[in-house]
Amino acid sequence: MSTQPTNKPNDAHDGSGSEYLAFTLGSEEYGIDILKVQEIRGYETVTRIANAPEFIKGVINLRGIIIPVVDMRIKFNLGTPTYDQFTVVIILNIGGRIMGMVVDSVSDVTTLSPDQIKPAPEMGTAFNSDYLTGLGTVDERMLILIDIDKLMSSGEMGLMDRMAA
Amino acid sequence: MTIDISQFYKVFFDEAEELLAEKERLLLAVDIDSPDPEDLNAIFRTAHSIKGGASTFGLNDMSEVTHVLESLLDRIRKGEMALTAQHVDAFLAAKDILKMQLDGHRNGADVDQEAVANVRMMLHDLSEGVIVPTHQPTVPSFLHAEPKQQVAEGAHRYKIELPDLAKRDVDALVDELGLLGRVSVVPLAAGRTALIIMTHESLDDIVAICSFVLDPSDLKIFEAPPLTPEQRAKEAAERARIEEEQGYGFFDPADPEDAGAHEPTEDELGYGFFQPIEQIRLEAGIVAEAPPPAPVRPEPLEITEVAAEKKAAKKGAEGAHAQGSESSSIRVSIEKVDQLINLVGELVITQAMIEQRSSGLDPMVHQRLLQSVAQLTRNTRDLQESVMSIRMMPMDFVFSRFPRMVRDLAGKLGKKVDFITNGAATELDKGLIERIVDPLTHLVRNSIDHGIEMPAARVAAGKSESGRLFLSAAHQGGNIVIEVADDGGGLNRERILAKAKENGLAVSDNMSDADVWQLIFAPGFSTAEIVTDVSGRGVGMDVVKRNIQALGGTIDIRSARGFGTTILISLPLTLAILDGMSIRSGDEIYILPLGFVVESLQPARADVKEIHGQGRVVKVRGEYLPLIPLYQMFNIEPRLTDPCEGILVILEAEGRKAALFVDELVGQQQVVVKNLEANYRKVAGISGATILGDGGVALILDVAALLRSSRQLSDESVLF
């Protein structure tokens, strides 16, 4: 089965700048390290998991492996969760574990140099600021940069066993 | 010719290990008072085969031990000595030593030389009073030479008849002469030996070398006429064929020509691997002077068949040129098999997809396509079954190691134990077999140590002096059930409860027995004093339980005070593929492992009863079973809420039964089990997932957990 090797990024902020995948949730624009992204797919029918939190939509078959899909819009109360042909699932590879993340839309891939990244304020987003790495500015846009690794492995998401124990 | 000898070492090691295991099994089975000559022969043969192999590979320490062992065995076998328990003990000890030496050669493990010496001494003492033959009458023919020097045309062939010499000296001589050319050893009558040498060196050189060891005047040397060109060509071709086949020319398999020329002795057939390569020349040249070795020991005919089969198997194992009738098994690395199984798993999913997609087609228009699909379905299933069976191994693989352990442990503890196994032919996935060994060893040991009482205590309790330890395996539904039972003292409820309280576990005096027994699996019980008594067992039971659960199995204890304890382990047959029944509830499809399904039925309204505050029960064949509505357990949007409109699937697990209420049965299929934890986590009530024909995912229900939670549902009305 295809287990993608974990592409270890050079810890996001080295001299040359890093690439971020920008996506929207409601009216906010977020960015995650592109190296954590395996692929982007359309939304397909998921198999619901009984008694799981609402934001865990269920599991899908990704070419023979079973992966969970979470809806960030439900998790963070952003936007209205609609599922149509435009709904996008970002497939992430977090330390060898594959998972899908439903977002409103994916805009582009942006390179941010370290001086474009400002430290995140203590408040202001739906995310716990622990999971933010900073705010990136690209022209008039502002990207909220998320430490997706940390977020997805957190107990809050309940995606991994050790947290559930 | 350069050859990679290491692969042959490996084959020898594997074979020797098998032989040692076989020997142990035979030794344990032998009836000391009236040993079956057939068994004695078989034991002798294992020792002899190991010796042959060990000497060929120059593992002298092993061949020395086997030699002493063999001499003693030979005397017993011939009836010159009666078999005693002492002998059996000594033979078992020798087996252990050989195993140690084998491991020493194979893995570089430490060899306790003192123990080796002790065993040799012991064997020697046992055969005392009789002169142990100094050299080997039992090896019919034996080849020592290393074909480093290719013997070219025009070489001389000499036959050297040696006087009565010690085996050591003969070996030394063979080594020396091996430097000159090709040498083979042929035993002659009256325990003497002859050497055949093929060399370019002059006769004088040979005599000079021999004179290091013996008086040249005792030697009889004949020069054999050189081979005719035809003979030589034939021989060269034969040799080339053999070398190509086997990678080297050490062992000349019985030559058809040769076999035609004279009736091969049983020895030769049985140990054909070690036949001298010079046999052909012997035939051609000096038949009169070198008669085929007389059968030193008569052996029953069937033995030769067994040995011949073994030989064939070994050839196959060497990956040699398969000669149809000769190869009956091959050794393949387990990774290759697993890869094959994975691929077949994928194929099964693809096939299911095709089947499903084609099911919507008009059968009139697409008749031929649909026929082919049906054919594909059949073929895939057959393929899957055959592939899965590769990994299946008989439980005997596990069981066979216990008789020895039981014997030793019982002896050490001064207890008498009759060990009985049943169902050793039951097949189980290799992966499971390997991982069940440790837990089972533990349970067997516990049964002897703590379960079965001392003979005196047993007699006082009105039982027979020797305890019974019963180990069995059997298929039950989709599972294999392994049972370790003893007729010992049973578990002591009071002590377990006391110990549990001491450990701060939540217990009450009116717990059911089954719940009390489960306490011994709690981690705190492992090193408890409780094990000192007959009643308690507990060393590492938590580990046992964890291991079994990791294999997808369950463990259950039944015990009655004074009557013994039975531990039941239930394991899935294989981890990869499962026969499932797909069921629908609301809009969702789930898979039920077929092994848990007893039956399915539509209940009559009168049979469904409400128990106030405890949910519903249904009467099935005079039995009231709790009714578990799946939609309620899994919060499914229900389509049906009345059990009389839907279907009840009666499930049985861990001795409990319940009726699962679902909307409808969809179908029955084999599913490839996918792990949910790989990318997600364990989900209560779900044991895994699988991919359906349409590419969607269906979850596999964890029946045991469902039934457990159903009990809680009625007890405390909580889910999971």
Tens of pLDDT, residues B433-449: 888 888 888 888 888 88
Average pLDDT, chain B: 73
Residue B216 near residue B162, CB atoms below 8 Å? no
Residues of A near B (CB-CB distance < 8 A)? Answer: 1, 45-52, 58-61, 64-68, 97-99, 158-161, 163-164
Distance CA B304, CA B287 (A): 25
Residues of chain B contacting A49 with CB distance shorter than 8 Å: 680, 683, 686, 699
Q: What is the predicted pLDDT for the residue at B429?
A: 80
Q: Which residues contact B596 (CB under 8 A, 6 or more apart)?
A: B477, B478, B651, B652, B653, B703, B704
Residues of chain A contacting B719 with CB distance shorter than 8 Å: 51
Record: contact B699-A45, CB cut-off 8 A: no
Q: What is the predicted pLDDT for the residue at A101?
A: 93
Record: contact A66-B696, CB cut-off 8 A: no
**Closest residue by Cα to residue B470 from B434, B489, B444, B442:** B444
**C-alpha distance from B692 to closest chain A C-alpha (Å):** 9
A16: exposed, middle or buried (Cβ count in 10 Å: 0-12, 13-18, 19+)? exposed
> Which of the pair, B430 or B262, is modelled with greater confidence?
B430
What percentage of chain B has pLDDT greater than the value 90?
4
The stretch A64-74 carries a mean pLDDT of 88
| Amino acid (1-letter code) at residue B443 | L
Q: What is the DSSP letter of B172?
A: H
Interface probe for B, chosen from A41, A49, A60, A63 (most Cβ of B below 10 Å), is: A49
Q: Which residue of A has its CA nearest to B700?
A: A49
Record: contact A61-B697, CB cut-off 8 A: yes
Q: Give the confidence band of B363 by pLDDT, cuts at 50, 70, 90.
A: confident
Residues of chain B contacting A160 with CB distance shorter than 8 Å: 680-681
| Amino acid (1-letter code) at residue A98 | I
> Which of the pair, B583 or B82, is modelled with greater confidence?
B583
Q: What is the predicted pLDDT for the residue at B103?
A: 82
Q: Give the confidence band of B122 by pLDDT, cuts at 50, 70, 90.
A: confident
**C-alpha distance from B681 to closest chain A C-alpha (Å):** 5
Q: What is the DSSP letter of B447?
A: I
Q: What is the predicted pLDDT for the residue at A37?
A: 93
Neighbour tally for B310: CB within 10 Å: 18
Centroid of chain to Cα A110: 15
Query: For chain B, how long is the longest CA-to-CA vector?
Result: 109
**Closest residue by Cα to residue B541 from B301, B614, A28, B549:** B549
Q: What is the predicted pLDDT for the residue at A38?
A: 93
Distance CA B628, CA B637 (A): 15
The stretch B91-116 carries a mean pLDDT of 80
Give, rounded to a whole angstrom, the gap between the first and last alpha carbons of chain B. 70
> Which of the pair, B562 or B245, is modelled with greater confidence?
B562
Is the ipTM reported for this complex over the cut 0.90?
A: no
Q: Which residue of B has its CA nearest to A69?
A: B680
Of B677, B684, B691, the CB nearest to A161: B677
Q: Is the pLDDT of residue B581 over 80?
A: yes
Domain boundaries, chain A: 18-150
Record: contact A66-B677, CB cut-off 8 A: no
Q: What is the pLDDT of residues B169-211, one digit of tens each?
A: 777 777 777 666 667 776 666 666 777 777 666 667 776 666 6
Start-end of H helices in B225-333: 229-246, 256-261, 266-270, 279-284, 301-317
Residues of chain B contacting A58 with CB distance shorter than 8 Å: 697
**C-alpha distance from B507 to closest chain A C-alpha (Å):** 23
**C-alpha distance from B654 to closest chain A C-alpha (Å):** 24
Q: Which residue of A has its CA nearest to B634?
A: A50
Q: What is the predicted pLDDT for the residue at A90?
A: 94
Record: contact B680-A99, CB cut-off 8 A: yes
Of B675, B684, B699, the CB nearest to A47: B699
Neighbour tally for B618: CB within 10 Å: 22
Residues of chain A contacting B679 with CB distance shorter than 8 Å: 65-68, 97-99
Centroid of chain to Cα B660: 40
Q: Give the confidence band of B348 by pLDDT, cuts at 50, 70, 90.
A: confident
> Which of the pair, B519 or A70, is modelled with greater confidence?
A70
Hey, is B691 helix, strand or coil? strand
Alpha-carbon dihedral sign for residues A82, A83, A88, A90: positive
Of A50, A64, A65, the CB nearest to B634: A50
**C-alpha distance from B720 to closest chain A C-alpha (Å):** 10
Q: Which residue of B has its CA nearest to A51?
A: B634
Of A52, A60, A161, the CB nearest to B697: A60
Name the architecture of domain A18-150.
Beta Barrel (2.40)
Q: What is the predicted pLDDT for the residue at B29?
A: 77
B669: exposed, middle or buried (Cβ count in 10 Å: 0-12, 13-18, 19+)? buried
Q: How many CA atoms lie within 13 A of B268 on its CB side?
A: 21
Residue B420 near residue B469, CB atoms below 8 Å? yes
pTM of the model: 0.46
Query: For chain A, how long is the longest CA-to-CA vector?
Result: 46
Q: What is the pLDDT of residues B288-344, one digit of tens each?
A: 444 444 444 444 433 334 444 444 444 444 444 444 445 577 888 878 887 887 788
Record: contact A52-B636, CB cut-off 8 A: no
Q: What is the pLDDT of residues B651-702, one digit of tens each?
A: 987 678 889 999 989 888 777 777 787 788 878 888 888 888 677 889 999 8
Size of interface A-B (CB pairs under 8 A): 76
> Which of the pair, B318 or B419, is modelled with greater confidence?
B419
- Token readout for B407 is 């014997």
> Which of the pair, A136 or B205, is modelled with greater confidence?
A136
Q: Give the confidence band of B58 by pLDDT, cuts at 50, 70, 90.
A: confident
Q: What is the predicted pLDDT for the residue at B576?
A: 62
Record: contact B691-A52, CB cut-off 8 A: no
B515: exposed, middle or buried (Cβ count in 10 Å: 0-12, 13-18, 19+)? exposed
Q: What is the predicted pLDDT for the residue at B144?
A: 40
Record: contact B636-A50, CB cut-off 8 A: yes
| Amino acid (1-letter code) at residue B78 | K
- Token readout for B409 is 């442990």
Q: What is the DSSP letter of B674?
A: B
Of A50, A59, A64, the CB nearest to B680: A59
Record: contact B680-A60, CB cut-off 8 A: no
Of A45, A51, A65, the CB nearest to B634: A51
Q: Give the confidence band of B524 by pLDDT, cuts at 50, 70, 90.
A: low
Residues of B near A (CB-CB distance < 8 A)? Answer: 342, 346, 349, 588, 633-636, 674-686, 689, 691, 695-699, 719-720
Measured in degrees and rounded to the nearest 5, phi and psi for residue B689 equal -140, 165
Interface probe for A, chosen from B679, B682, B683, B719 (most Cβ of A below 10 Å), is: B679
